[in-house]
Every structure is written in structure tokens, then in C-alpha cells.
Amino acid sequence: MKQIIEIVPNFSEGKSKAIMEEVIAPFKGLGGTKLLNLEMDASYNRSVVTVIGEVDSVVKGIVESAEIAVRLIDMREHKGEHPRMGALDVLPIIPIQGISEEECIELSYEIGEAIFKKTGIPIYFYALSRKRPQCENLPDIRKGEFEGLAEKMQDPFWRADYGDVPHQSAGAIAVGCRKPLIAYNIDTDSPSKKKVLRIARRVRFSGGGYRYIQAGAAKLMDRNICQVTMNLTDYTKTALYQAYEAVKMEACRYGIEITASEIVGLVPKDCLLSSLRYYLNKDDDENLDLKLEEIVELVKKYLKFRDFSVEKIIEYYLD
């Protein structure tokens, strides 16, 4: 059985399609890989790329892509709603087929070292690849962002695993093996970032909410609305419907309505099915025999998904 991994590199460029086409070029035409998705967001000034494929090919592609990103993305000029500390901000690695988490952790060390040697960008290993407890959660590493990185790295507690000082224009990168993470945003009808941040604080774990929700707020200037931005770090423990309904409930106190929600990147089919069981009044262990197209229509109905199709479901590429 071939060893298949997924990587979801996040780049700090969401406005220039020309730049991102150069950044993702190494994955095009590369045998053994599929470039599944490029999602650009101008308000966040960030792009999320999804690649799946055989280990050696994916590693070759991401190292080359990182080199291009360092050359083309200057963090000294970067402005956007999403927290960030580097040109290639974070590189998650997810085992898909024929490879264990332990093997993926070792692979993350190899990739981090290779990128550091090629670019000189400091590397933090995070999530399952962390070498120190404080590096488990990405928001903790990224706190202070690019602008505060030089001062942060002077503290021995926050030294990088590779590198002593930030790259002058490209910052630092977090690299790590992790379980599938669901990047999930909920659109509100409110232009008040202050109010939406209060909602986010109540649903996230650090504010007394769900254990596996990280949440914040972002203003989408082009639409004059705010989003609750979330990462579900273990969707088997905290489901999409729980995040959605929690935000909906907390929004009520401000008279704020949910207008839509979105998945950033790809999502496993079982993540969607777990929420559909709730809305369809099924037990957790009940089988739902649904085609991908049927799943898409149902999540649009119950979770108000926008810009969603079968191409956003991982199994579409594996079946």
C-alpha cells in the first residue's frame, strides 16, 4: 500500500493570484501528487492550499513551494485579518493512507529541517510533532505575530526548534503532524467585531466553551460583516453542529443572526455525517447511507454552508 499524506500549507498572501500561482506551481504536474484546492481570502490576506499524494513527491513539492514563498511574500508589507507569523505560516501534515501518526511525526521533522536548510526560516514543531509542551497549540506559538517574533524568540521559552532569529522578510513557520482539523467560519449580519469577538470567547475552550474549539473574530471589510472564525481541533469530540449551535445561541443575546457558514479547505465525510445525524434525529452509531451530493445539499440546509460542493469532501478524491 502506498503511503499517502495530506498537507495544508497556509500562505500569507490572499490578494495576488499571480503570486499564488507561482507558489503552488511545484505541485502541478508533479507525479504522485494532486493539488486539490487553493482558497484565497483577500480580507484575511491568506491562502489555504490542499495537496494529497505520495510522501516523496509531496515533500519535494512543499520544499520548493516554501522557497518560492520566501522569495515572493514579504511579511514586512503584509496586512490582514488573520493572525500570522510567516510567509509560509503553518504547514500541517495529516496521515491519510498506509502511514501512521508516528511516521508522520518523523516526516514532519525531516520536512522542517529541509525547509530550514534551504531557506533559513526558523521552524517550530507543533501539535503532535511538538518537542516542548508550550508548542502544542498553534495560537500560542503565533501570539505576537510577525511583528513581535524577534522579541519573542529572544525568550528561551519560545526559542525555535531550528533557527535563532526570524527570517527578515519571511518570519517563521510552524510545522507539524496533526489530526484532521476543521477550519470553520460562521458569517454574522453584524459589523461589530467587538460583539462577535465576545461570542467567540464564549464558545472557545479558553473562555469556558467546547474543549476542541479555538475561536476568534474577523471583519470582512468588503461585505461589512464579521465572522466567528474557528478551528475544530478534534471533530470527533466537538462536532460542527455543536460549534454552529453554540454560536447561534450566544449571538441571540446581541440580536445577531447567522447568515452563512463555510469550510476552509477540505473536510472528511464522517465529520459532516456526525452533524447530519443530529439534525436528522439519528443516534451516533446509526448508519447514514448518503451520496456525497446528498450530503452537500443537507449541510447547506442545516448548517447554511456556502460555496460548498463535493469537491470540498476528501473522499471525493479517494473513492
The Cα 203–Cα 245 span in angstroms is 10
Q: What is the largest CA-CA distance in the chain?
A: 54
Mean pLDDT of the chain: 96
The Cα 89–Cα 74 span in angstroms is 12
Grid cell locating 315: 473522499
Report whether 293 contacts 299 (CB < 8 A): no
Mean pLDDT of 170-178: 98
Quick one: CA dihedral 109, 110, 116, 121, positive or negative? Answer: negative
List, by residue number, the catalytic residues.
82
Q: What percent of the chain has pLDDT over 90?
A: 93
The Cα 176–Cα 161 span in angstroms is 12
Q: Which of 1, 21, 20 is nearest to 12 (CA)?
A: 20
- Asked if pLDDT for residue 153 goes beyond 60, the answer is yes
Domains of the chain: 4-177 (3.30.990.10), 182-318 (3.30.70.670)
Three-class SS of residue 298?
A: helix
Which residue has 493539488 as its cell numbers? 35
- Residue range 105-147, pLDDT digits in tens: 999 999 999 999 999 999 999 999 999 999 999 999 999 999 9
According to the model, what pLDDT value does residue 319 have? 57
- Residue range 213-255, pLDDT digits in tens: 999 999 998 899 999 999 999 999 999 999 999 999 999 999 9
Mean pLDDT of 85-99: 96
- Residue range 182-201, pLDDT digits in tens: 999 999 999 999 999 999 99
Q: Which of 1, 132, 129, 23 is nearest to 67 (CA)?
A: 23
According to the model, what pLDDT value does residue 246 have? 98
Q: CB neighbours (10 Å) of residue 252? A: 10
What's the order of all strands across the beta sheet hosting 258-264?
213-220, 225-232, 182-188, 258-264
- Asked if pLDDT for residue 6 goes beyond 90, the answer is yes
- Of the pLDDT bands very low, low, confident and very high (cuts 50, 70, 90), residue 318 is confident
According to the model, what pLDDT value does residue 2 have? 87
Three-class SS of residue 247?
A: helix
Please give the DSSP secondary-structure letter assigned to residue 305. Answer: B
Report whether 160 contacts 109 (CB < 8 A): no
